[in-house]
Each structure stands twice: as structure tokens, then as C-alpha cells.
Amino acid sequence: MLDIRLIKENPELVRQNIRNKFQHQKLPLVDRAIELYDRKRAAMQEQEGLRAQRNAISKKIGALMGQGKREEAEQAKARVNAFADRLTALTAEVRELDGQLTDVLSVIPNIIDPSVPIGRDDSENVELERFGEPVVPDYPIPYHTEIMERFSGIDLDAAGKVAGNGFYYLSGDIARLHSAVLSYARDFMIDRGFTYCIPPYMIRGNVVNGVMSFAEMDAMMYKIEGEDLYLIGTSEHSMIGRFIDTVLPEEKLPYTLTSYSPCFRKEKGAHGIEERGVYRIHQFEKQEMIVVCKPEDSPVWFERLWRNTVDFFRSLEIPVRTLECCSGDLADLKVKSIDVEAWSPRQQKYFEVGSCSNLGDAQARRLKIRVKGEGANYLAHTLNNTCAAPPRMLIAFLENHLQADGSVTIPEPLRPYMGGKDRLNG
């Protein structure tokens, strides 16, 4: 959410940013925000003037009564009462205007970083760099569910009967591999200096509104019926929510946290054939990274975060590439985002396994996350990134480590979490 002062002082900057995101329907919101702000300020100024007059007249009433000027005192009281009625009306007006202004500001997109490429959608994202050599073996790579079934590791049919489409049962070595990846991801991030956390898996509505846009919420979040609670779509939601309405000591920044959680998502919309199986599901688990820092430090942390994911996947011998998300592919709160994609030997292309985002002060403004500096308080910057999110990450793992005989090799860093196994034999 943008500072209204930025919109008022640089309206054309905000309009051009909206154009760069190809959200032209939002252009009228700039003038609407300025109008609401001006009306709110006018009402507040009238409030201040009336309070000053009321206080001045109130002081005179006692003096008039002491001088025996009862009639003049009563007239003064009548004026004070009239002020009270008008002040009550103005208070309601300011509250109403403030609510309308907040609603408008919440849908005006954040100012993107100048380095972000301009494009309409994810088809115009820009490849940055490749890490590792993508290999296409001389034997066929089956669909990931077929690989899992060879190890009696997945049951989608039973899950469909129990919970519907988009759920799964994992068993045996595949389930163990799933847990091993998460445990390794946890320790990988701890070794990089991050504090391990397990957050609440539900959050209140005010936190939802603070961490994401309404469009994202509608497409993602499951609401608990009859409760002001939502199931989290990622642990970023509750981890950033942890700092709601707080003033953080500057000397304690940055907060570098890595969190485990299950994630729940509606995944609205139709998906292609490559998103069957466990590509897009309603429930999965993830190891996340979250940083709360000074504004001037967020670009450096952004680079560190996505490199952590690249290093994690390369430690498991999975080739990856990074993509710079274009303007039209950025969610409204994001300043800059890089996707990490893993190589799929079966598809002979890369697919997304993680996303790193710098949100600037957007979440901090909504949640009132401030930093106590030497002078005035200021808003923190927040960032997040995926370390590992199986079972999708398992797709990349199984495809890249499947051997011609149907076995799956286990890289050395993962073996301690697999009971020392260096191979899975179907």
C-alpha cells in the first residue's frame, strides 16, 4: 500500500507505474485517492478549528457565570453544544473517508523497482542465469506419479475419496523422501544463519489484509466458517503477521527467519496437463525464508535469498535457472521478484519451484511494522522466498535422479535424512 503523500506529490509516477503493470482500469483511483485525502484533511482541519473555538468559549463560561452574566453564559453553552453535534458528525465523516481511502489505496499497486522488465504476463519474464547442466537421458522419464507408484509411494484415488481432487497420500520411501527434503532444507537454512520457526497455521482477517491483496486472498485463502480465521497459503503470512503493530529496535535488524508449515490453497482456475498429479494441489508443505530489515538493506537481502534457493537445489544436483518476473506478473504488493525454476528432463524444460520477493514497505505499512531509529520511526522492509516446497520439489528430484534401471539415487547431503540410503530401489 502506497503512502498517500507519494500519490499526492507524484501522481504521474503512480499513474505510469499502473500503466507499466497493464492495469489501466486502476488509473482513476489515483485521482480518487487524492480527492478522498483532501476531503479527509478538510474535515480534520474543521474539527481542529471547532475544538479550538469550543475550548475558548468553554473557558469564558465560568467567567460569565462568576460575573452574573447568566444569559450570556447560557448562550455560550448553546454554542458549545452546537459544536459538539458538528464534531460528532465530523468524526463520523473522517472515519468514513478514512475507510474509503484505505480501500482505494489497498488496490493501487506498489511502485516496482526500476530494474523490473516491462511485460504483460509471465510469458514475458526474462531468464537471468542457469546453474548446472540440464541433461536429457537416453531412457524415458515417466510422469512423476508413475515414478512414485513404482515405489508404492502415492495414492491419489484414495485421497480423492477422502478429500477430493488436489490431495494425495504419500507412503514408504516417497513419504520419507518428502520429509527428508524438508528436514535438510530446515538445517540448510539454519546453517546459513536463519532462526528456525514453526508459526500458527491460521491467521486473522486483519493479518490477511496486511500481507496480501484482495485478489490474491480470493484466489488462495480458505476461510474457517464462522470464525475470523483463514488457513495460511504460506508461512510468510503468519511470520510477517508476527510483527503486526510493533516498533522494532533498529539494532536488532535484520530478522532472518526460516519457517516450516503446511500450506493450503484453493488454486482457482483451470490448469494444463502438466499440472496434474502433484503440480497444483490444495495442501503441501514448505520451508520458507523471511527477512525484516532496514529499507536500504532489502536489495542485498533479496540477492541473498534467491541465491539460497539456487544453492539448495544445486547441493542436491538439480539444475535450475532464475527468471526476473516482469511488471505484469508481479503481485500488487511486490517491488521485485525472481522465480527459481528446476529442470524437468521429462518435459525438457524448466518449471517453477520457488519465488523470491521484495515487498518494500507495503506489508509494513498495512501491518504497522515500524523501526525505532535515532530520529523518527520508519517502516521496515519485508522479503520472502521459498527454500523447498515438496511435493512439487520431489518432481524435480525424482526426474533428475531417476536411473535407467528404475532406481533413484540419493545425493550425499540427503543421505543422513534417509537412514544412510544412497539409492531407492523400486
Residue-wise DSSP of 183-233? HHHHHHHHHTTPEEE---SEE-HHHHHHHS-HHHHHHHPEEPTTSS-EE-S
Q: Quick one: pLDDT at residue 162?
A: 97
Find out whether 182 and 390 touch, Cβ atoms under 8 Å. yes
pLDDT (tens digit, 9 = 90+) per residue, 186-200? 999 999 999 999 999
CA distance 76 to 426: 93
Cβ atoms 417, 183 nearer than 8 A? yes
Amino acid identity at 96: E
Summarised one tens digit per residue, pLDDT across range 3-38 is 999 999 999 999 999 999 999 999 999 999 999 999
What's the rounded Cα separation, in Å, for the pair 326 and 330? 7
CB 295 within 8 A of CB 174: no
At residue 271, does pLDDT exceed 70?
A: no
pLDDT at 52: 86
Asked if pLDDT for residue 137 goes beyond 70, the answer is yes
Cell of 253: 535488524
Q: Which helix (H) or strand (E) holds 352?
A: strand 349-358
Mean pLDDT of the residues in the chain = 93
Contacts of 88 (CB under 8 A, 6+ apart): none
* Cα maximum dimension of the chain: 108
Residue with cell 503512480: 14
The residue written with cell numbers 468553554 in the block is 58
pLDDT tens readout for residues 62-79: 666 766 777 777 777 777
pLDDT, tens digit, 9 for 90 and up, residues 146-179: 999 999 999 999 999 999 999 999 999 999 999 9
Q: Look at residue 203 and tell me whether its pLDDT is greater than 80.
A: yes
DSSP 113: P
Q: What is the pLDDT of residue 268?
A: 67
Identify the pLDDT of residue 130: 98
Homologous superfamily of 4-105 in CATH?
Answer: Serine-tRNA synthetase, tRNA binding domain (1.10.287.40)
Amino acid sitting at position 186? R
d(CA 42, CA 49): 11
Q: CA–CA separation, 398 vs 298, rounded Å?
A: 35
pLDDT at position 133 is: 96
Q: With contact defined as beta carbons under 8 Å apart, do 364 and 381 qualify?
A: yes
Smallest CA-to-CA distance from 207 within 63, 363, 79, 342 is with 363
Cα–Cα dist 323/337, whole Å: 9
Are 286 and 234 spatial neighbours (Cβ–Cβ below 8 Å)? yes
pLDDT at 213: 82
Res 270: pLDDT: 45
* Integer Cα distance of 371 and 250 in angstroms: 6
pLDDT, one tens digit per residue, over 327-386 is 999 999 999 999 999 999 999 999 999 999 999 999 999 999 999 988 899 999 999 999
pLDDT tens track for 217-259: 888 899 999 999 999 999 999 999 999 999 999 999 999 999 9
Question: What pLDDT, on a 0 to 100 scale, did the predictor assign at position 273?
Answer: 45
Helices (H), 106-195: 144-150, 156-163, 172-191
**Is residue 272 predicted with pLDDT exceeding 70?**
no
E strands along 193-330, which residues? 195-197, 202-203, 222-223, 230-231, 246-249, 255-264, 283-293, 320-324
- Which helix (H) or strand (E) segment holds residue 74: the answer is helix 70-105
Where are the domain boundaries for CATH 3.30.930.10 in the chain? 122-424
Cβ count near 81 (within 10 Å): 11
Whether the predicted pLDDT of 85 surpasses 70 = yes
Residue 59 has pLDDT above 80, yes or no: no
Q: What are the start and end residues of each CATH 1.10.287.40 domain in the chain?
A: 4-105
Mean pLDDT score, 39-56: 90
What does the alpha-carbon distance between residue 329 and residue 167 come to, in Å, rounded to a whole number?
27
Angle between helices 28-66 and 70-105 (to 10 degrees): 160
* CB-count exposure of residue 280 (10 Å: 0-12, 13-18, 19+): middle
CA distances from 192 to 113, 198, 209, 257, 379 (A): 27, 18, 31, 10, 26
Closest CA to 184 of 316, 290, 301: 316
The percent of residues in the chain predicted with pLDDT above 90, rounded, is 83
User: How far is the CA of 366 from the CAs of 23, 359, 361, 402, 412, in angstroms?
Assistant: 21, 12, 9, 46, 44
For residue 417, CA distances in Å to 259, 310, 423 come to 19, 20, 13
- Distance in angstroms (rounded) separating the CA atoms of residues 369 and 381: 9
CATH class held by domain 122-424: alpha beta
